[in-house]
Amino acid sequence: MLGKALVIVNPAARHGVTGTLVPLVEGLLQGHADYQLVVTEYAGHATEIAREAEEFDTVVAVGGDGTVHEVLNGIMAISDARRPAIALLPTGSGNDYRRTLGLSNNLSTAARQIIGGRRKRMDLGVVNETYFANSVAIGLDARVTAKAVELKTTTGWSGIMLYMRALLIILFQ
């Protein structure tokens, strides 16, 4: 149950495709949720918005793993007693956290899952005062991830092929 929800949309997710999905997201939630939708304007904006979300029951991140990361770090700045839950409508490139949560990759199905779902506690990690929910990478994995971020920025590649290419580049440098 979402309760009163703040929906934070990262229009840059999936190379800008998420920005075109705002009407679809609103259509999926209309009549099923009491929500306020905000579109981010720059990197780090989702964290700033989520930090001010204590009046909401749930904050829904609309985007990918980066959006979840920003929203998570924003809500973790709110005291335990007032902290909203986090939910995800996956519209990013990799959507690893979607798989961790067992959410559908189909946006309509994922919306039904979060609207009709139930809350669960989840484990978080924290490194250097930065929270993470899905994974932390060190060593080879961290190098591959860093190369993937570089390639995503310079080539526009995404998804599993992006990480496979990054892995091959790191292994055969």
Cα torsion 114, 120, 123, 127: sign = positive
In tens, the pLDDT along 64-85 reads: 999 999 999 999 999 999 999 9
In tens, the pLDDT along 145-170 reads: 899 889 988 988 887 888 899 999 99
The per-residue pLDDT for 160 is: 82
What's the pTM? 0.88
CB 90 within 8 A of CB 103: yes
Cα separations in angstroms, 20 against 15, 112, 138, 162: 11, 20, 35, 23
How is the chain split into domains, by residue range? 4-132, 140-171
Among the CATH numbers 3.10.20.740, 3.40.50.10330, 3.40.50.300, 3.10.580.20, which is that of 4-132?
A: 3.40.50.10330
In tens, the pLDDT along 24-41 reads: 999 999 999 999 999 999
pLDDT bucket at 138, cuts 50 / 70 / 90: confident
- The DSSP call for residue 173 is -
CA neighbor of 166 nearest in space, from 83, 158, 27: 158
CB 170 within 8 A of CB 140: yes
